[in-house]
Structure 1
């Protein structure tokens, strides 16, 4: 249940007006969903994120929607759910959560900005243009890394902390 709620929070974190450069619950929500739900349900968060892309593009930004422009992003959504499944299924450790957060955020940064560089005229198609594209995206990367770490850290850390607190209280009351 909590994995579904976190995916809904990820959707709302994207559609609610905010000025935080890419500070959303998407990465953490996708990782958590992958770690908590069977892989056969991976289509659910991918479909919800794709629907959010459609809504944002057509209604919030007023652009025409072209599905081919989002195929790489939708593939990334699925890959992060799979990453969460592979790295965080069962009993995840802080190191595994941290590694998954780093992989998810860094892969999105690398892939999406390369796609911007190669698929648009915003930056010259030179090594210097690629470097400029990545440099311009660093604030977005930082905030995505922070938000993914915060969401995944809380999603995995709060239940663990509550479990330990409950175990300590039961030991104290038994004594």
Structure 2
């Protein structure tokens, strides 16, 4: 990977990771998109570290919470890197980007709310159903955030990639 490409990727990742620390509506964050981007652009052995690292950095500043929920949230966002690897590493089309956003938000929804069910709801089938139904509005926010930041990251990367050589010689 050329140095300029790696620099562009790292700068985009740092910028998006910092956005998580700004005030934002619930679940409209760049972390899912960060995982998709890292999975598409970075080697498999380190790609999952970026969303997990962004979460650790943010949580160390914001504060940690219930361990079962925390673990499921981290697992959900690490999974977004694997989704990015599977769907976006070799070919990116609007359909694949949309499928990756939907898969990533769905995985996060399932895992994070499983953790919430374990901690906050009765451990019954009715308690699980209540947990997932109550979380549906947050799923919409996750889709919005993941779609927006995925378009921003991949679009910025493509735009920068197309113009980088002309900047170097200007």
Q: How does 1:69-84 map to 2 (within 5 A)?
A: 70-84=70-84
Name the CA distance, whole Å, in 1 between partners of 2:87 and 2:159.
20
Q: Deviations over 1:15-64 (max 9, x none)?
A: 2223x121111111110111111223225412232232233215xxxx6x
Aligned to 2:144: 146
- Secondary structure of 2:54's counterpart equals helix
CA contact (8 A) 1:31 1:152 kept: yes
Q: Please say if 1:24 is aligned against 2:20.
A: no
CA contact (8 A) 1:28 1:152 kept: yes
Structure 1, gaps ≥5 residues long: 167-175
Aligned structure 1 segments of 4 or more residues deviating by more than 6 angstroms: 161-164
Superposition TM-score, scaled by structure 1 size: 0.74
Calculate the aligned-residue CA RMSD, in Å. 2.6
Number of aligned residue pairs: give it. 156
- Secondary structure of 2:63's counterpart equals helix
Name the CA distance, whole Å, in 1 between partners of 2:13 and 2:149.
11
Offset, 1:13: 2.5
Name the CA distance, whole Å, in 2 between partners of 1:144 and 1:22.
5
Superposition TM-score, scaled by structure 2 size: 0.76
Which of 1 and 2 has greater Rg?
Answer: 1
